[in-house]
Structure 1
Amino acid sequence: MKLEILYEDDDLIIVNKPSGLLVIPDRFDATLPSLNKMLEAKYDQRIWVAHRLDKDTSGVICFAKNEAAHKYLSTIFMEREVSKFYAGLVTGIVVPEEGRIENLIAEHPAVYGKMIVSRKEGKMSVTDYRVSEQWPLYALMQFQIHTGRTHQIRVHMQYLGHPLVCDELYGDGKPFYVSTIKRRYNMAKHEEEERPLLNRVALHAYRLEFETVAGKLITADAPLPKDMAATVNQLNKWCK
């Protein structure tokens, strides 16, 4: 797998992570590929993880090349001095079209690996959101997260009643097909069954902004990946 490097210096590597790739090795299956190990193989040195993205989430992610850089990055992420922006496709018509979500997020009491909005316990989470494009059944949204809770955007959009498209844990998990939005859809002659345009959680980290220890402003951008861009194109074509 070819890695797309968005920025690099003596201390940092910023990568456009593809969907489906783990950031760190799986605890139960070390044979699965991970971005961290791929970078260590590429640079033939230890690479430190500064923050994480879910396996299905694509987009901008930052790593440190040395211990001092890792300590600095860990500090600015913890102190919320890094600006993190995401794009996501959600279900339904979102009203109001922009706002802020602030609440506690805690582990689900019965489902391992799932998070919930809690009234009494958990960690405070803050997400700003804005609708970029609205269609009758779906919306393309932009998010800025001010905290880094597990599944934060996915939990918050479920809380609003607009889960992310293809999200099995917080939504219906159904793949996105053109036939969902196009009347009288006909498959190509060589196809035995329709292929989904999108079949993973529709979330992409499109921008990361922060200052280096020397005061240099770093802005790394990653455009919408092909699967999400193709879905947006089809929504614009058939749902306007």
Structure 2
Amino acid sequence: MQKLDILFENDDFVAINKPAGLLSVPDREGKEQSLKSLLREKYGNIFVVHRLDRDTSGVILFAKNEAAHKNLSGIFEDRQVEKVYQGLAQGALPQKQGSIDLPIMEHPTKPGIMVINRKGKTALTDYEVLEELGPYSLVQYRIHTGRTHQIRIHSQSLGHPIACDEVYGDGRPVLLSSIKRNYKLSKQEEHERPILSRLALHSALLRFTDPAGTTHTLEAPLPKDMRALIQQLHKWG
């Protein structure tokens, strides 16, 4: 069984630092391992409160009982949760901070792909550039709505998609040779291994107040692969 990185738990919910590459919930076929199935093995009954894309890492919540599920789902639906993400966007954003207020709906003929359309549901994202790193920018995103692929499509709408985004960007992995001048492959390697080959997006913080009046601030540090890329960008970017 894959080891779970538990950030916090009490009788009502558990907060996990989800690794990139793991599904939040089982897909339609249900053949692949998901975070929900791992939690079910550990806790028995478990309830989904919200989701993260497969390649997004970071803080995700699951409820442990029906009452907590109802309460937490209500808090999320009423937008009473502060949701902060960090991502590496391509290029340098012209404005260092701003808001993107563009409605989102599912593509009429491509299931699972979202588009910006005035007939879509309201979607609001605040962003702030934390650091410019040569060909990329480290950006903090705060989402006020929880639409599917919201940050990814809003980031694309600025002309600065998230690095390695196969749907809304070019999907190209980040290679050291693209950052470092005069890069040479070592004799042991036939092919260059990417520094990052997954969507460069991380759920960094969730903050909410539970029905008992306790405020929970749940944080997950940037994962190793994103930190490694930032380190290389500091060095060569």
Aligned to 2:31: 31
Displacement after TM superposition at 1:189 (Å): 2.5
Aligned to 1:41: 41
Q: Hey, what's the Cα distance between the residues in 2 that align with 1:31 and 1:112?
A: 20
- What amino acid is the match of 1:199? S
Q: Hey, what's the Cα distance between the residues in 1 that align with 2:185 and 2:226?
A: 20
Matched position secondary structure for 2:58: strand
Aligned to 1:96: 95
> Residues 12-37 of structure 1: CA distance to partner in whole angstroms, max 9, x if unpaired?
10000000101111102x22001011
Any residues of structure 2 matched to 1:54-203 within 5 Å, and which? 54-119=53-118, 121-203=119-201
| Contact 2:133/2:230 (<8 A) preserved | no
- Segments of 5+ residues of structure 2 without an aligned counterpart are none
Q: Hey, what's the Cα distance between the residues in 1 that align with 2:35 and 2:236?
A: 36
Displacement after TM superposition at 1:137 (Å): 1.6
| Contact 2:47/2:66 (<8 A) preserved | yes
Deviant stretches of 4+, over 3 Å: none
Q: Hey, what's the Cα distance between the residues in 2 that align with 1:184 and 1:110?
A: 45
Any residues of structure 2 matched to 1:223-234 within 5 Å, and which? 223-234=221-232
TM-score (norm 1): 0.96
- Segments of 5+ residues of structure 1 without an aligned counterpart are none
Matched position secondary structure for 2:102: strand
TM-score (norm 2): 0.98
Matched position secondary structure for 2:226: helix
Q: Hey, what's the Cα distance between the residues in 2 that align with 1:172 and 1:111?
A: 18
Q: Hey, what's the Cα distance between the residues in 2 that align with 1:111 and 1:179?
A: 35
> Residues 87-133 of structure 1: CA distance to partner in whole angstroms, max 9, x if unpaired?
000111101010011111011123221111113x0100000000011
Q: Percent of pairs identical after alignment?
A: 55
Aligned to 1:9: 10
Q: CA RMSD in A?
A: 0.8
Q: Hey, what's the Cα distance between the residues in 2 that align with 1:86 and 1:95?
A: 20
Matched pairs, number: 236
- What amino acid is the match of 2:46? I
